[in-house]
Amino acid sequence: MMTAVLEKQATKDNIILGMKKAMSEYDIAALTKKEGKVLFDYIDDVNKIELEYTPTVLSPKKFFFPQEEVILEYTMEGKVQAKINYRKMVLFGVRPCDITGIQILDEAFAESNGDPNYLTKRENSVIIGIDCNSVCDENAFCYKVNSQYPDGGFDIMLHDLGNSYAMTIATDKGETFAEQYFDSGKVDSEAMEEFLRVKEHAFVKAGGPFEELENLPEIFAENEHHPIWESEAERCLSCGSCIMVCPTCYCFDVIDELALSMKIGDRLRRWDACMLRSFAEVAGGENFREEVKNRVKHRINRKFNFLMKKHGKSVCVGCGRCVRSCLADISPVTIVEALTKTSKQMRLAEKNNELYLPVKAFIRKIVQFTEKEKFFELELENGKSLNHQPGQFILLSIFGIGEAAISISSPPSFGNRFDIVVRAVGDVTNKLHTLEEGDFVFIRGPFGHGFDESIQRKMEGKHILFIAGGIGYVPLRSLINFTLKQKEDYGRISILYGCKSPEDRMYKDELDYISTIGGNVTLLETVDTADKSWLKNTGVITSLIPMVKFHPENTLAVVCGPPVMYKFVIKTLNDQGLSNENIYVSLERRMKCGVGKCGHCQLDDIYVCQEGPVFRFSDIEDKEEAL
Amino acid sequence: MSKPKVAFFDFTSCEGCQLSILNLETELLELLDIVDIVEFREAMSEKSDTFDIAVIEGSYSRDSDLGRLKEIRETAGVVVALGACAHIGGLNALRNSQQREDLLKKVYPDHPDWYETNEKALPISAAIKVDAVVPGCPVDVKEFVHVVKNLVLGKDPGLPTYPVCVECKLNENICVYELGKTCLGPVVRAGCNAVCTSNGGVCIGCRGLIPNPNLNSQKDIMQKYGLDIQRIIDSVNLFMTENAREVQ
């Protein structure tokens, strides 16, 4: 708690002398040297205090929340008592970043169920900080999260004015301590102003705060599927070092230690880390945060999103310890800046006045595929490439009638032509079917999250199992062609395709061609009913799945078809051992705007038009409306 | 309730882990309050046909080991693998990447045919079911006491699934990579209280890999810190021969 702020001044010698006097009443912990390293530790001699700062491996939170502490003592006969170990202490020489860290821990341990072990230690401590007026090393980024100006978490802050320290006294506790131990006088306000000016200059020069510091919770929420999570996780060793050294991580494990006598024991708490694989594993073996990506995401979100919302400021204090300790060079700074950049681009696109403005495209070729389905090749009038990913869609307009969401069926290309296949089923599509080659339509897009690079990387070397039903072949066709073009990059490619009848098959010529490729490419087809001229399988699509031999741990399935198909296909895949992490689906929804606004496509908190239509099934399996 | 009977057995090993247990002294006496030691070749001449907890040191490296291991397994309620040799094959497994015939000729040039040995030295879990493990070369005797205590309590003694880095940081060590050395700590199972890195050494992996180690990233890091591929393979090979291939 901040009371009235007092400013005083004392010589450095006087401060050290005061600390020596205080030793009769307090244990003193300070920055000191021990076995060749600089760390915060209890000292028995004030001459061992290091006044110049060198970054330490652990932060001083360990004095209030030790690596391991006993919280209960018990006997096997059933006697039990709570245990709180504390010392009356002064923590001397804490730097602003760590003070901000302590301030955050004070709030975290005090809220709702106040933690007696932490709070008792804090109540019995006096914190004397030493202010920084420069950045301690190239890994520190306190200035990016504004932790260099703590507004609490200390009793006294010392500002270096050369031979003396100016003191900011923030609490009654600090005032009493200063009165008792420091022989202080009036502050040299000119020198103090100079100190603050130098400080401000140093931190502004270092780069100043994150561009959108205040908006980080929102930015993190927007970027749940940002590719950086995947790329950082790839390097992450899950070694837990980042958490161990963090001044604001406070998760712990609880362990019973019985003495060898088997009669008495302790219950301990020990630092634990959400970056460790076992952290969210329950007794049954289920792990609620098994993927490294999700653990990296959780750790960083706790600092800049989940807990930032609660504490009203960044819970990362920018001390740089995790960056220094990460052998894989994973840094919160890189992640925050990448997400900020993406969000800015997203907002720029949203502000774009042309968000709803379609561009003209000419119909270059029409092929009647089936009774109800036609193929259209479109060419953008502006000469630009559509620049789409497999699995994305466009909104196709015919003025006077309206807009309709249509999948892109051609693979990514640099040219300005692309293909769609459209069933005449609504107003726009019925009208489209009456148009002829040379006529024009308007389009917007491409929209949505398709089979992006991170999914494509995951597919490499795997057995890819495409499962399409009816017109569901069309949204998958872009990806199918993309993989067939470089088929040697995949273990196997198996395409399973089911229709009502042979007449309902899409891209008939192409299917005939695929069936002749051979090598690692297999095409299996089935129809519900057919006459004798149909030589392939009859029966439902799921009957094809057992005909393909696949190793579940090395296989990715990609599924698209009518809504009724998914449940049965996914169940059959699961029965064959394929987990939902290895199943991708492309979902159909009603879409009006395509840009995450109109709300028609919403699946709980997800806009299918933005985060979908392609989903890893494990990401949405719990949503009731998903299938 | 009578005290559980504990018997010690050794296979291919230096028997140093058992020696470490003998060095326990005071705690060993306390341990005798909760268990009876009925067979321990290094400490006593008595033997026993019955025992509840079998503590096995050494790797399974000869055909003739199999029968003895199975016999121990059938008699014991609980089997504990003691030390790296029993747990992961240990230093014995270093030879697994070489041909047995060549090695026999190299080590015993006069009488290669006198010695019985399998193609590979394997952890005892390759022959029999193992219920608990005390990893390390040598074992940490505190961990041994912890395992025995928990077995007597009827609690799974478990093993840390996190790497040595965690304990190294808890001990406030400066990372050995910062000191210009390389270390397998990020992928090796903790539980040793980072004893090597906390005392001027580096982790050479005697406790084996953690589950799901990121060997790719470990390799990249060791390369970044100046090791060539052969030296990386060699360092993994020392205790984790079977995994050395994965970093190539």
At A532, the amino acid letter reads K
- Report the C-alpha gap between B152 and B146 in whole angstroms: 10
Model pLDDT for residues B100-154, shown as the tens digit of each residue: 999 999 999 999 989 899 999 999 999 999 999 999 999 999 999 999 999 999 9
Distance from CA of A38 to the nearest CA of B (A): 10
Domains in chain A: ranges and CATH = 6-206 (no CATH), 213-349 (no CATH), 359-447 (2.40.30.10), 453-620 (3.40.50.80)
- Report the C-alpha gap between B25 and B99 in whole angstroms: 42
pLDDT at A414 (0 to 100): 67
Q: Which letter does DSSP use for residue B126 in this model?
A: G
- Report the C-alpha gap between A453 and A450 in whole angstroms: 9
**Burial of residue B49, with CB atoms counted within 10 A of its CB: 0-12 exposed, 13-18 middle, 19 or more buried:** exposed
Q: Which letter does DSSP use for residue B104 in this model?
A: H
Q: Is the pLDDT of residue A340 over 80?
A: yes
A451 three-state secondary structure: coil
Q: Is the pLDDT of residue A3 over 60?
A: no
CB contact under 8 A, A235 and B212: no
- Report the C-alpha gap between A190 and A167 in whole angstroms: 14
CATH topology of domain B5-153: Rossmann fold (3.40.50)
Query: B196-228 b/e with 16+ CB inside 10 Å = b?
Result: bbbeeebbbbbbbbbeebbbebbbbbbeeeebe
Read off the pLDDT of each residue in B225-241 and give the average, rounded to a whole number. Answer: 91
Spell out which chain B residues touch chain A, with contact meaning CB-CB distance below 8 angstroms: 27, 30-31, 33-34, 145, 149, 152-153, 161-163, 165-166, 168-170, 172-175, 177, 185-187, 210-214, 216-218, 220-221
Cα B25 to the chain's mean position, in Å? 22
Instruction: Report yes or no: A614 and A603 within 8 Å, Cβ to Cβ.
Output: no
Read off the pLDDT of each residue in B160-185 and give the average, rounded to a whole number. Answer: 96
Model pLDDT for residues B56-102, shown as the tens digit of each residue: 999 999 999 999 999 999 999 999 999 999 999 999 999 998 899 99
Q: Is the pLDDT of residue B1 over 70?
A: no
Asked which of A1-15, A228-242, A302-316, B12-26 is least confident by mean pLDDT, the reply is A1-15
Name the pLDDT band for A67 (thresholds 50, 70, 90).
very high
Which ipTM was obtained for this model?
A: 0.92
Distance from CA of A233 to the nearest CA of B (A): 10
- Report the C-alpha gap between A620 and B157 in whole angstroms: 37
B240 three-state secondary structure: helix
**CB count in 10 Å sphere of residue A468:** 27
Name the pLDDT band for B241 (thresholds 50, 70, 90).
confident
Joined tokens for residue B149? 């205590």
Instruction: Report yes or no: A268 and A255 within 8 Å, Cβ to Cβ.
Output: yes
Q: Which residues of B touch A67 (CB under 8 A)?
A: 170
Read off the pLDDT of each residue in A341-357 and give the average, rounded to a whole number. Answer: 80
Q: Is the pLDDT of residue A415 over 90?
A: no
Name the pLDDT band for A351 (thresholds 50, 70, 90).
low
Q: Report chain A's terminal Cα–Cα distance, integer Å.
A: 52
- Report the C-alpha gap between A403 and A356 in whole angstroms: 11
Q: For residue A557, which phi and psi values (nearest 5 degrees)?
A: -105, 145
- For all residues of chain A together, what is the average pLDDT? 93
Please tell me whether the peptide bond between A613 and the residue prior to it is cis, using omega within 30 degrees of 0: yes
Model pLDDT for residues A97-150, shown as the tens digit of each residue: 999 999 999 999 999 899 999 999 999 999 999 999 999 999 999 999 999 999
Q: Report chain B's terminal Cα–Cα distance, integer Å.
A: 54
CB pairs under 8 A between A and B: 92
- Report the C-alpha gap between A33 and A48 in whole angstroms: 7
CB contact under 8 A, B152 and A262: yes
- Report the C-alpha gap between A156 and B89 in whole angstroms: 58
Asked which of A224-228, A365-369, A463-467, A602-606 is least confident by mean pLDDT, the reply is A602-606
Q: Where do runs of H (alpha helix) occur along A238-387?
A: 241-244, 292-301, 307-311, 321-325, 332-351
Cα A230 to the chain's mean position, in Å? 9
Q: Quick one: closest CA in B to A67, which residue?
A: B170
Instruction: Report yes or no: B223 and B152 within 8 Å, Cβ to Cβ.
Output: no
* Range list for CATH 3.40.50.700 in chain B: 5-153
CB contact under 8 A, B220 and A235: yes
CB contact under 8 A, B27 and A244: no
CB contact under 8 A, B153 and A238: no
Joined tokens for residue A189? 């306000």
